[in-house]
């Protein structure tokens, strides 16, 4: 317990925390009974005003490396791996 805080102030903070928890639990129960509680997990629905996005991207590109370039890349990778 901190020395500079009065005991009544600590008791007041504890009472307020307990009251807040009781209020939240009561509110959730009332909303559940009334059927107003929103579902925790919502399904993702598409916006009807936006056009559908396609998942097609650009073609994959590749370049053949010369043996000297492969060796240089391997040396660079070793330097980076050694830190």
CA distance 42 to 1: 43
Do 20 and 26 contact (CB within 8 A), yes or no? no
Q: What is the pLDDT of residue 38?
A: 60
Q: What is the pLDDT of residue 14?
A: 95
**Phi first, then psi: what are they for 55, rounded to 5°?**
-95, 20
Q: What is the pLDDT of residue 34?
A: 79
Do 65 and 73 contact (CB within 8 A), yes or no? yes
Q: What is the pLDDT of residue 48?
A: 74
Extents of the domains making up the chain: 1-38
Q: Tell me the CA distances in angstroms from 80 to 4, 65, 75, 76, one per residue in order.
A: 54, 20, 9, 6
Q: Which residues of the chain carry a pLDDT beneath 50? A: none
Q: What is the pLDDT of residue 56?
A: 78
- Minimal CA–CA distance to 21: which of 32, 33, 31, 29? 29
Q: What is the pLDDT of residue 41?
A: 60
Q: Is the pTM of this model over 0.75?
A: no
């Amino acid at each position: 317990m901190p020395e500079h805080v009065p005991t009544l102030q600590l008791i007041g903070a504890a009472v307020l925390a307990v009251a807040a928890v009781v209020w939240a639990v009561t509110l959730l129960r009332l909303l559940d009974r009334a059927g107003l509680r929103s579902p925790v997990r919502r399904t993702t629905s598409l916006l009807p005003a936006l056009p559908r996005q396609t998942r097609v991207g650009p073609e994959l590109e590749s370049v053949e490396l010369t043996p000297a370039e492969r060796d240089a890349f391997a040396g660079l990778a070793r330097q980076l791996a050694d830190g």
